[in-house]
Amino acid sequence: MDRIRKVFEHALAAHLPGQDIVIERPKNGSLGDLTFPCFHAAKASGNSPAQVATELASQLNLALAIEGVKLIAAGPYLNLKLQPEARAGEVLGGLLSGKPYGAHEKNGQKVIVEYSSPNIAKLFTIGHLRSTMIGHNLVQVHRFLGYDVVRLNHLGDWGTQFGTLLAAYKAWAETSNPDLTHDFDWAAEIPEKRRTPLFRLFQLYVRFHDEEKENPDMREDARRWFRELEQGSVEARRLWKWFRDISLTEFQRIYDRLGVSFDTLEQGEAFYEPMLGAVLQRLSDHGLLKEGEGGAKIVDLSDVGIETPMVVQKGDGASIYASRDLAQVTYRKEAYLFDRCIYVIGGEQILHMKQIFACMEKLDPWFKGRLTHTPFGLVRLPEGKMSTRKGNVIFLEDVLDEAAERVAAIIQEKNPDLANQSAVAEMLGMGAVIFFNAMNDRIKPITFEWDRVIALDGDTGPYVQYAHARICSVLRKAGGAWPAMATPGLHDSRETAMVPFPPCDTPSDLKGLDAPEAQNLLFELAGLPSAVRVAREQLMATSIARQLLAIARSFSGFYTNCPILAADNAPEVREARLALCVATARALRQGLFLIGIEAPEEM
RNA sequence: GCACCCAUAGCUCAGGUGGACAGAGCAGCGGCCUUCUAAGCCGCAGGUCGUUGGUUCGAGUCCAACUGGGUGCACCA
């Protein structure tokens, strides 16, 4: 369809010199495949939009000269409409060729995506799902569209919070539970699967904050430990590394379930610690470093409209996250020479990111336009904000477990003979959770409710996965080479974002796809590439998720109204419909893959 | 107090650069398993797009004010 779009665009440009040609996709496939709204052209010519549309239709129909394509003036719109068989040929050709549908050639641009970035010694909550999956979606979409992508996880493995952990460990665990392998008194009611060293570390952290309220002096203890850490105390460093290892082991388990990975985990906050001196020196050299209240070092950004000064060093001389972020941006330019660096970080840090970006642009104009903060809305509970410290949180792993368990129960009920039940349950459970995240505008806050996040029918991941499984079932029954046509070969798809399918001939006779349900499905399939482009522009996968729903929904219509394997089907009808099934399965699998979801062949 | 974000059907949400009658799902009601998986399909019902102005040939979409909710505002990240 991109080919036709280009021809259409050139023809319009030739007739409307000097005008911006904006070709859109009609909301409804029955109107046409592409449309040119004539409002602007009408303004330029002084005629009414409807008149312009009519004139263009008569003039361009000859010029286009593509078989099966008609231009129809519909009021102020000039609609390009393919005849059913031409539409089928066009869409199937694109999906069956074996080239990734809608993918772009390498464009030589390098994009860094920073995402997930959990804090060490805390458990993943449902909130972490947002950054992790939005980032992963951006990684996949950018790769698909030809960018080189660097995947970074800015681990929160430094800072005062580490002082807190060290102080708490020293106070309550070092003598009684030095290796964090057995329960504390106050943890007796914790479920078995939770009794990990990381959870015990987390409990120490929570306890510290509880007791700190009674004893404000403890705060000083934590600060002192962080200073020790920064000054290279062997003891503090040893514990730091151990806490970090404990955390990464558990994070990895979650990343594996979500299908997310990174190019390195070595560039967390601590990584930049040795560079902090140079950063402060540079700020000072540029005359940006000022003395703030209580001996703190600050950068004043009021001249660029940011009234809150940025603290880059604390009054006690210890570092702070702002300086680590400045070091991080500086380092990334040197190490990667990126075209764009995207930060998937919650909306509550908008001010902080603005400060960092503004400061870096002052230091080096090279950064102008290259730094992007991609904020997202908080996950809240119906009763209010989640707080790790207060303990009213939803742990991500509980959500993932619950999702898989609910699916398993449904499999027991609906398809008890299914093979690989636990694997399929996992695939669908993750599909539900991940799709829910992708489906909604990232900027809007989410109120967490179990039944919505892990819903399994309606507009959900499993609905899309179900459409895919049904297609595979039909292809299996068709036999021959059909099932293989919808099955990707061996591939390390995580590194490419492309799902490789074998090339497949488009049947020569496509009359079997004349039915409106088949045509509607073709129209939705044609919409996938632009949905991927929109996803990149908007920096979220919402458009892809919605398009997959539209494809799955129209497939269901096709499936119920157009028998594929019926005995009385003419061979060419059967052939054409099977080809459409293959094309749909490929589009669904590729699209789901961009969102980070796997497509089951049976469920 | 100041700044930023959000407000669309009973509920949860879609509505790329303003444009064809505002679309889904859930919940509700009514149909459909002797044909390829009913995690599905079809139908009904449900909306003065928070309010009031403004820009425009045209506003859910842009601007202003207001209302309600969220977030942030120097030594946490």
Task: Compute how many other C-beta atoms are within 10 angstroms of the C-beta atom of residue A455.
Answer: 19
Q: Report CA(A57)–C1'(B58) in Å, whole number.
A: 23
What token pair was written down for A571?
């061979």
- A302-311: pLDDT as tens digits: 999 899 999 9
Residue A415 (CA) to nucleotide B43 (C1'), in angstroms, measures: 29
Would the pLDDT of A360 be above 80? yes
In whole angstroms, B16 C1' to A469 CA is: 30
* Residue whose CA lies closest to nucleotide B69 C1': A445
Domain residue extents for chain A = 2-82, 165-260, 396-595
pLDDT recorded at residue A489: 81
Q: Does the pLDDT of residue A488 top 80, yes or no?
A: yes
* Closest-lying nucleotide for A160 based on CA to C1': B76
| The domain defined by A396-595 carries CATH number 1.10.730.10 | yes
Asked if A566 CB < 7 A from strand B, the reply is: yes
Q: How confident is the model at residue A29 (pLDDT cuts 50, 70, 90)?
A: confident
3-state secondary structure of A408: helix
The pLDDT tens digits for A104-122 are 999 999 999 999 999 988 8
Candidate from A1-5, A25-29, A92-96, A385-389 with smallest mean pLDDT = A385-389
pLDDT at A493: 67
- Of the candidates A378, A394, A359, A382, the residue with the CA atom closest to the CA atom of residue A282: A359
Checking if the pLDDT of A187 tops 80, the result is no
CATH number of A2-82: 3.30.1360.70
What would the pLDDT profile of A509-537 be if each residue is shown by its tens digit?
Answer: 999 999 999 999 999 999 999 999 999 99
Report residue A213's pLDDT band, with 50, 70 and 90 as the boundaries.
confident
A16 against A129, higher pLDDT:
A129
Q: State the nucleotide closest to A158 in CA–C1' terms.
A: B77
pLDDT tens figures, A560-587 = 999 999 988 999 999 999 999 999 999 9
Token output for A486: 């919808």
Relative to beta strand A446-447, strand A379-381 is parallel
Torsion of CA A311, A314, A317, A321, to 10 degrees: -70
Can A2-82 and A396-595 be said to share one CATH topology?
no
For A293-349, give the secondary structure using H, E and C: HHHCEEECCHHHCCCCCEEEECCCCCECHHHHHHHHHHHHHHHHCCCEEEEECCHHH
Asked if pLDDT for residue A241 goes beyond 90, the answer is yes
Q: Is the CB of A35 under 7 A from strand B?
A: yes
Pairing relationship of beta strands A69-74 and A77-82 according to DSSP bridges? antiparallel
Give the pLDDT of residue A194.
82
Concatenated DSSP letters of A253-266: HHHHHHT---SBS-
- A157 CA vs B65 C1’ separation (Å): 46
Say how far A134 CA is from B58 C1', in Å. Answer: 36
A62-89 residue pLDDT tens: 667 778 899 999 989 999 999 999 999 9
Q: Which of residues 488-527 of A touch strand B (CB under 7 A)?
A: none
ipTM for the predicted complex comes to: 0.96
